Chains A and B, each alone.
Chain A
């Protein structure tokens, strides 16, 4: 049996959009609160990855030694300010990349603070840091 054809009723449906702007502003506030605008401060240090044998180390390569809280530059003790002055006097920025190398050697237990200051001094004066690492026994 066939159903009698009914007339379709179209309801007047409207999507409620009144609260959209409220929702949007709530989302904006969320993003503003959750966003961190902290700018990180750092020093840039490009450490060469290659290995160099002890015999290849020339006497001319400037060396910084960190022994505890003491700093030695070419085996002469100095403070951080003097180290900066000595490195600036070398005018590393004007030299060829292979002549900018500064060896950084440190005794066991040297805190990162001292290491960081030496790294920063070398990098700020245009030097390339080469870490001197003890060979594994």
Chain B
């Protein structure tokens, strides 16, 4: 037996959007609290070295030192004249630290640079008491 045709009842469903603004602002606050402004210079021309031993860096770094393709040295994104400036900079940063975990210094250097360019900087970091986190790419 066929049912008699019934007229469909459409309910008007209103999506509650009143709290959307609150949710959005909570998300913004979350991002602001969780994010850290990068002190890295992303525009540097650096080809990182390759090794099978590199691992994801899990420790926070106290300072960032980089040497680009031309041999220019950068300390926390600012250009410095020589390795001595790096030593003073790292020393100044590490005076505020209390444990070994806070002594890590990120070191980025172009793979093609000769020893004369990077070794004084490595020595400067070591002299200042920093533990070197040498940035590289994982060998495939």
A40 CB contacts on chain B under 8 angstroms: 56-57, 106, 135
Please tell me the number of chain B residues within 8 Å of chain A, measured between CB atoms.
50
A41→B117 CA distance, assembly (Å): 22
* Cross-chain contact of B132 among A36, A46, A133 (Cβ < 8 A): A46
A2→B77 CA distance, assembly (Å): 68
A119 CB contacts on chain B under 8 angstroms: 134
Report whether A112 and B126 are in contact in the complex, using a CB–CB cutoff of 8 Å: no
Interface residues of B in 81-140 (CB under 8 A from A): 104, 106, 109-119, 122-123, 125-129, 131-138
Binds B, one of A5-13, A53-61, A91-99, A102-110: A102-110
B24 CB-CB contact with A under 8 Å: yes
* Cross-chain contact of A111 among B56, B114, B138 (Cβ < 8 A): B114
Report whether B57 and A39 are in contact in the complex, using a CB–CB cutoff of 8 Å: yes
A124→B138 CA distance, assembly (Å): 13
Please tell me the number of chain A residues within 8 Å of chain B, measured between CB atoms.
40
CB-CB nearest in chain A for B113: A112
CB-CB nearest in chain B for A121: B53
* Chain B at the A interface: SS class: mixed
* Cross-chain contact of B116 among A49, A108, A121 (Cβ < 8 A): A108
Write 26 A-B pairs (CB below 8 A) sorted by A numbering: A17-B21, A20-B21, A24-B27, A24-B28, A41-B54, A41-B136, A42-B55, A42-B134, A43-B53, A43-B134, A108-B114, A108-B116, A109-B116, A112-B49, A112-B110, A113-B49, A113-B50, A115-B119, A116-B109, A116-B134, A117-B50, A120-B134, A120-B136, A124-B53, A131-B123, A133-B123
B residues engaging A (CB < 8 A)? 17, 20-21, 24-25, 27-28, 31-32, 35, 38, 42, 49-57, 59, 104, 106, 109-119, 122-123, 125-129, 131-138
